[in-house]
Structures are given as structure tokens and as C-alpha cells.
Amino acid sequence: MKRTTISLIAVATALAAVTGFASLTAPDGEDAAVAEAPARLPVERSSLLCPAPSSSDLAETQYTSFTPTAEDGARQGSGAEGADADSAELRPSAVALADPDGGPEEKDGKGKKDEAEKPSSGKPFLAVKEPGKPVSADESGGQAPALVGTATGSLAPGWTAQQTTTVSAGSGRGLLGVSCTAPDTDFWFPGASLADKRQDYVHLTNPDEGTAVVDVELYGKEGALKSTVAEGIPVPGGSSLPVLLSTLTADQAEDVTVHVTTRTGRVGAVVRSLEENVGSDWLSAAADPSGTAVLPGIPADATSVQLVVFAPGADDAEMKVQLAGATGTITPAGHETLHVKSGMTASVDLKDVTRGEAGSLILSPGEGGRATPVVAALRVVRGKGDEKEVAFIPAAAPVGERATVADNRAKGSQLSLTAPGRAATVKVTASAGTGGGTPVVKEYSVKAGTTTAVPAPVPAGLKGSYALTVETMSGGPVHASRTLEIAEDGIPMFTVQTLPDDRGTVAVPEAEQDLSVLDD
């Protein structure tokens, strides 16, 4: 997924680099200069989109926005373009075009079309003022709109936002958490469903002025599901559209992979799932198709874990299934491998695979070692009987240089770190709180093939919520997630967010002007 966009200045620099490279050969036949590796510079513009949180009158939503600090000015970027160049704001989008819980709502014989066409006020809902200090805001009820945000200047590198909603009762009961997404043109969502007990919506948010045209493809265990209405879905500029997946096809499927692409424009996409008598949460897009997949952060007390995998290419995939725990990697009994047919969705019930020890699932090429790209996600349930809650863990890209998750609490936040290959060391920074506190820094060593699950470090004197920033210091790739738990009435409400690289820097080759190429 494209995490950020670079400003026109960065683009101009890159174009200059191309021109400069062509002039590296001296006119007198001297040896060509050796081009140096491109420098990594901070991005100067980032975009984020947050879906409409809920239609429940009982919904309580907290938004948290944050930009991490940097150890030096070069890493963070500068406000050389002036004070106005440094901003990070989330603004309301246009009113949703459809009611997320059952189609247009009619009043006096008229639907919500006219209301949907009203533009947003443009007034910032939440704005970050400086790096290292998170800000938050609250909304109550089911009328909160989707949010569209842009960060520029020194606030752009690593900018993140979290939307956390608590619904205490009713059909949408649960803790719903989602890291606001960057706009893109291609998303994969294994783990959705068209089952009678599920209501799954894909929320499409368009940050731009022009209309985006979106295709939504659905794949079950027998392949593509037939649909006449899933192609060419228009999403007007600056608005958000929730689409009930079961309205896109007459076919029914227990486990479905959703593929969202755009013909024109770009959107933010995320799936909201509501499961009868179990709970609800957001399903974020999985990491791009790859021959290996890491799904980090299965809670120790998970009572049900379901793996859903899809093979988008022309070849079948034979995947080895492993669980990385605190002391090493094991193979779940009876589920050593999983065969995934091309263009089809496969699922397997791993039940209580963690057995009291937090872990992460690792998928890798099976017999023969042939790496066939797949996308994957987990549906995880905690609790039993009437006190269940559900959450989703999509396959996650590595932390890379740096990754951040916002809205952590003094209690109930747990960090999971997985090193699927080589051992690694990471640095974790707990920021100041939204209401005050002193940042805390800790380092963790993660052994190869293991998962380190620890309570998230808490800032000294914390007031409010805070952000966690993870940086890879040495060793191999690390995959991470944060679990947030807010128990209510005996129900272990929880949500899991993965921490992929924030792509706060971009490679820009160094170029020098050489006017000698103009000589005759």
C-alpha cells in the first residue's frame, strides 16, 4: 500500500536526478562517475482516511492523531516553506451516501440523497500542532462522518491516526478499532463473509475532488462470485460510501476475500464486520500478496482462531503453517500445511491454537519451496457463551525503519513483536499523553522464530492516551501489532492493529548540474 505522497518539490528533485544521471559521463571520454545510493529524505505530504465509525446511538468514539519525533532534523523534515507548510488535520467528509446498517433512511418519503450531497464544512476536526504530542477528540452517537486528512511539512513523516469505538450493547456491540488508512488503488480483504450471521460492509472514502470509480470483487471457496452491481461503483469526491457486501451478489459464502480496485481515482478502504452474538470490529487490508505472510499478535486467551487465505495468481499455493510463540516455532497439530487453489479462498479452523501463550502465525512456502503469492487474515474470538468478542489480524508488512500506532491506554495495551527469520532488536517509544506525561523508551530483543508479547510501555505521569513508535535497530525483519482491551460487563472487548512501516522517508538520488553536456 502507498503510505504517503511526496510534494512537488520532491518530484522535481527526482526529475532533476534523472537529468543529472544522464550527464554523469564526462564529455572528454573520461570514466563514468559512479552513482551513489540515493539519499532517504522525509516525505513532505501524507494523507489519511478514517471511515464513519458506527450508526449506533450507543457508540462512543475516540480519535487520536500523532506524528512521531525524529532524532535529527534531516529525518523529520523542515518547515522551510513557512509556518503554513506544517499541518496535520482531519476534516469531516461529506455525509455518507448510504446508511451503513441497511440502506437509505427515509424521512417523509425522501431518502438521504440531498443530505449526502452537502459538502463538509471544511473545519478541522482534529489537528496535530507539533511532533511528539498526540491530540484526541471524542464523538458520541451514530452520526459521526468519515474523516479525510492531510499532513504536510514536518508533521507529514510518520503521521498516524487511530479511531476507536465502543458500542456497549445491541447488534453492533464491541470494541472497533482501526488505524486510518492511506488512499490507494488496490486493497485485499481475506476474512470477510456473506454468512447470514454476518453483516460486512466495505467503506470507501474518496479524499479527492473528482469522482472515484471502484470495482469490488468477491471470491469464495469455489472462486469468483457472480455480481452485476459490484463494478463501476461511483464514490463522489470528498465523500464516503459504505457498501453491504451481501447486496453485491446472490451467492452465499461463509468465507470471502474482497478485492477493491479503482478504475479512476483513489480511495481509502476498510471492512466493518458485525457478527450476531459475537461482536464487531474493523478488518483492515492485508499486506500485498507475497510468498510468505506473518500475522502477528494472537492473544494468549483466544478461544477460536480462523485462518483465511487467498491465492490471487495463476498458480495454486502450498503453504506451511507455523505458530511462533515465546520460546520458538511449532506446527499446529493436524494443520501442518494448507493448500490454496488459484483464485479461491481457503480457510481452516485452528481453534484455541495459542493454548494460553500469545503468538503469531507464519505462512511460508510448503513442500518444494515454491513461493506463490497469497493474502491472509485471522478471525480471532475471545471469551465464551454470551461473553464473546471478535477481532481481525491481517497479514502485516514488517515494521521496517519505523511504525506507529496511536490511542494506547494506561491499562489494556499489549505489544507483540515477531521475528520470523533472524533475531532482531527494536526500540519502542511511548510518547507523551494527550493530556500530559513524559515519554519512555525501551529496547526489546526478539529471538529468531519467536513472538515477544509484553504490556506496552507507559509514559511517566500519563494523562490521556498515547502513541507507540517501534523502530528496528538491528537484525532481521520484525512484524508487530498492538492489542487494545477494554473489558465491559464481563465481555473481553478487544481490537488488534498491525504496525507496518510508516514510509516516512522516500529515496531521492543526489544530482549535480553539468552544463558541459551543452557544449558543441
Give residue limits of the domains in the chain. 8-40+508-518, 44-285
Q: What is the DSSP string of 505-519?
A: EEEE------GGGG-
Report the pLDDT value the prediction gives residue 362, as an integer from 0 to 100. 98
Q: Which amino acid is it at 130?
A: E
DSSP 8-state assignment for residue 144: P
Report the pLDDT value the prediction gives residue 507, as an integer from 0 to 100. 82
Q: Which amino acid is it at 29?
A: G
Does pTM top 0.85 for this prediction?
yes
Report the pLDDT value the prediction gives residue 516, as an integer from 0 to 100. 62
Report the pLDDT value the prediction gives residue 43, as an integer from 0 to 100. 93
CB half-sphere exposure, 37, CA atoms < 13 A: 3
CB half-sphere exposure, 176, CA atoms < 13 A: 33
SS3 content of the chain, % helix, strand, coil (to 5): 5, 45, 45
Report the pLDDT value the prediction gives residue 76, as an integer from 0 to 100. 52
Residue 211 CB coordination number (10 Å): 14
Question: Which residue in the block uniquely carries the three cell numbers 520470523?
Answer: 420
Report the pLDDT value the prediction gives residue 84, as an integer from 0 to 100. 46
Residue 466, helix vs strand vs coil: strand
C-alpha cell at 170: 445491541
Mean pLDDT by 10 residues, the chain (520 residues): 43 40 41 61 94 95 96 46 73 64 35 40 85 97 94 96 96 94 98 96 97 98 92 95 96 95 98 96 98 98 97 96 97 94 97 94 90 97 94 98 97 97 98 97 98 98 98 98 92 96 85 61
The contacts of residue 79 (CB under 8 Å, 6+ apart) are 85, 86, 153, 154
For 44-285, CATH number out of 2.60.290.11, 3.30.479.10, 3.40.50.1220, 1.10.4190.10 equals 2.60.290.11
Report the pLDDT value the prediction gives residue 508, as an integer from 0 to 100. 80
Contact (Cβ atoms closer than 8 angstroms) between residue 49 and residue 268: yes
